[in-house]
Structure 1
Amino acid sequence: MKRSVTGKFALNALFVKLMLSFLSVILILASFNLFSHLYLSGKIYKEMIGQNELGLAQTVEGYENHFRLTQNMILALTQSDSWTANLGILSHLKENRRYDIPAEVISDLSTLYANPFLHIENFILYFKKENYVLEREGLSSAADMFGKYYFSAEYPPEYWSRQTMDNQFLKVMPAVTFTEKTIHSTRTLGRLMPVLVKAIPYEEVYGIVMLNPQLMQAAYGDAGNTPFYILDAQKNLLFSTSEGKLQTSQLPESGNAHERVGDQYYFYEKGKQTGFTYIRVTQVAAIAAEMRGMQLLLAVLLSAAVLISVLSSLIFSHRLNQPLQRLIAALDRKAGSRPEKLSSVKEFAIIGDRLSSILENNRFIQTDLDHKNSLVRQYAYTHKVKNIPLSKSLAELEDVRQSEQPYASILFKVSFKTLPDELEKHTLMLWKLVQNLITGGESESVALQPEHDQLMLLLFNPGPQSSFLQALDTLKELLDSETSLYLTIAVSPVYSGETSFTDAYNNLSMLLNERRLNGETQIIVEPRASSAKSFHLKVTHGEELHNLLQSANEEAVFAWLDRQLEQLQHKDAAAADFRAFALGAAEQTSKTVTRLNLPQAERLLPPPLEPFNAFHSMDQYKEWLRDLVRPVLVVISSRSESRDPIISFVLDYLDKHYGEDINLNLVADKLNLTPGYLSSIFKEKTNINFSEYLNNLRIERAKELLMNLELRIQDIALQVGYQNVNSFIRMFKRCAGITPGEYRKRYSRDDSLPSSGLGL
Structure 2
Amino acid sequence: MKNNTYIKRMMFSYLPILFLTISVLIFIFITILNELNVRNAIQANKVTTEYISNMMDNSLKTIDTDARKLIDTNMDLQAFLDSPSDRLLNYAASNILSDMMVQHNFIDSVYFYRAKDKQVLDQSKIRPLDEFPDRSYITELLNQPYSSNWSSPRFKKGSYEEDLTIKVISLGRKIPINTGSLGYMVINVKVDALSKFIDEMIDRNLTNAQIYDDQHVPFLPEVAFASSNKGVHAEVVSDYTGWTYQTEIKGGKLYSILLNGGLFWIFSILCAILLAVGSTFYVTRRNYKPIEAILHRIDRFSTTIKPADLKNDKNEFAFIDQAIERLITNNMAFQEKQQEDLTIRRQQFLQSLLNGEYEAEKEIWVQEREHYALREGTRFIAAILEMDHYVQFCLKYNQKDQSLFKFVVNSVVVEFAEQHKHQIMIEWIAKNRLVILHMSEEEQDLEHNLLKLAEQIRSWIADQLDFTVTIGIGTATDAGNIIRSFQEATHAVNRKVTLGINQIIDTIEVQEGTSSEWFTYLQWIQAVVRQVRQAESGWLDHLVNLFQEMRTQGLSKEDIDRLLHYLIFQMERELEGIMPEIDKHWHSSMKSDLLLGLEQSDTLDQIEASYRQTIEKMVEQLLELSQNRRHHVLMKEIRSFVAENFTDPNLSLTLLSDRFQVNSKYLSQLFKEEIGENFSDFLITLRMEYAKKLLIETKENVQDISERTGYTSSISFSRVFKKWVGMSPGQYRESQQ
Asked if these proteins are the same fold (TM beyond 0.5), I'd say no
Larger CA Rg, structure 1 vs 2: 2
TM normalised by structure 2 equals 0.37
TM normalised by structure 1 equals 0.36
More helix by share: 2
